[in-house]
Chain A
Amino acid sequence: MDMKVQHRHPPLPEQVILGERDQALITLIQTGLPLSKTPYADLGRSLGMDEEEVISRLKNLIDDKVIKRFGVVVRHHELGYRANAMVVWDIPDDIISDLGSCLGQFDFVTLCYRRPRRLPEWPYNLFTMIHGQDRDDVLENVQLLVESCGLNEIGHKVLFSTRRFKQRGAIYRKTEMTD
């Protein structure tokens, strides 16, 4: 079986086309803001932008939803949320938008994505990431989702993580400049 051909479909959603200056800014902020008194001005200095330009570009990227959230990014595990599970659901295609929106509104659900099924070995098409202080806490949250969104008839699986080999922010573009 040619897994590659089967598994590369469907194509990825279209990328947003960004100008060079936005790209340069993104490259620089993907590892976080400098913790200085004037972080935007400091970022701008290495980009040849003034503070005002950095701030207005960031605002636009947020408005355009390229940046989904801008703020303090915490690590759940280090804060006592020791358990996390990827909970996957097999939802009929015609109701996935409604149920996805229902699941996506809970604060303990930190990701809620539709992804392709890979039949026959993988029937699940909705992926939620659920954090909790321990396994029971996670399972209670799953139960709350089942009741709140009416998922009794929907097949699901709870994949607890047992080891974290790596976790860090994504690096979309490798830095070409080092200062």
Chain B
Amino acid sequence: MSQTSANMNDLKKNIPDELDKHLLNDFQYGFPLEPRPFKKIAERLGTTEDVVIDRLNELQDQGTVSRVGAVFRANSIGASTLAAMSVPEKKIEGVAAMVSDYSEVNHNYLREHHFNLWFVVTASDEQALNVVLDDIEHRSGLPVMYLPMQEDFHIDLGFDLKWT
């Protein structure tokens, strides 16, 4: 238990301890597909199922873990596209907020370029996707550049976190 309270203190400072590091790094792919996956993870990390579940809950609350689950291949289910707009500086707040407001928009970033607003729209099918894109064009009065994925070259094995 004393180990747990030390861990709690580290978490408050958002500094991952050894167990956190393994949880964050070692199970980004190949997550156990068996009835008690967290027990399996606990066995590999030399701890208990309860500790693993508690810790993942904390990491999720903290925001370092987005979720434990699936990353879907783009367009393998539903339809999605990257989209970009060139938004005048003084309109950026309003347009960005309007874009973020769609439940179909899951990423929305300001980037350093003439095309400064970049977002990803995902919907159940192409028709539903187009409705959102049209709506954004219509409401903003600005053209939207659509850049759907044509080929995926990435082998997703997660991201090797380097602790410094």
Q: Which residues of A contact B (CB under 8 A)?
A: 3-4, 7-8, 10-13, 15-16, 18, 23, 26, 29-33, 35-41, 51, 55, 58-59, 61, 65-76, 78-80, 86, 96-97, 100-101, 103-105, 107-116, 118, 121-122, 126-127, 131, 133, 157, 159-174
Contact = CB atoms under 8 A, between A and B. Distances in A.
B140 interface: no
Contacts, number: 282
Nearest to B149: A113
Given A12-B126, A163-B109, A107 B159 contact: yes
Interface residues of B, number: 91
> Interface majority SS on B: helix, strand, loop or mixed?
mixed
B155 A104 contact: yes
Nearest to B70: A67
Contact of B36 (A37, A73, A108): A37
Contacts of B39: 37
Contacts of A159: 111-113, 118
Contact of B158 (A8, A41, A71, A101): A71
Interface string B47-60: 00100010011001
Given A35-B57, A67-B72, A113-B149, 18 more contacts: A13-B150, A32-B69, A55-B35, A66-B76, A67-B70, A67-B73, A70-B69, A71-B29, A72-B24, A74-B159, A74-B161, A79-B161, A100-B151, A108-B159, A115-B148, A118-B145, A122-B84, A165-B99
Contact of A29 (B28, B37, B62, B70): B70
A96 B150 CA distance: 12
A113 B160 CA distance: 20
A35 B156 contact: no
Interface of B: 14, 16, 23-24, 27-31, 33-39, 49, 53, 56-57, 60, 62-82, 84, 96-97, 99-100, 103-113, 115, 118-120, 122-126, 129-130, 134, 137, 143-161, 164
A73 B145 contact: no
A96 B110 CA distance: 27
A118 B106 CA distance: 23
A161 B152 CA distance: 22
Contact of A31 (B36, B67, B134): B67
Contacts of B81: 12
Please name the 3 residue pairs, one residue from A and one from B, whose CB atoms are nearest each other, closest first.
Answer: A32-B67, A100-B153, A172-B78
B150 A113 contact: yes
A79 B66 CA distance: 11
13 contacts: A3-B144, A26-B72, A41-B35, A58-B70, A66-B73, A69-B28, A73-B66, A75-B66, A107-B158, A121-B145, A131-B159, A160-B111, A165-B119
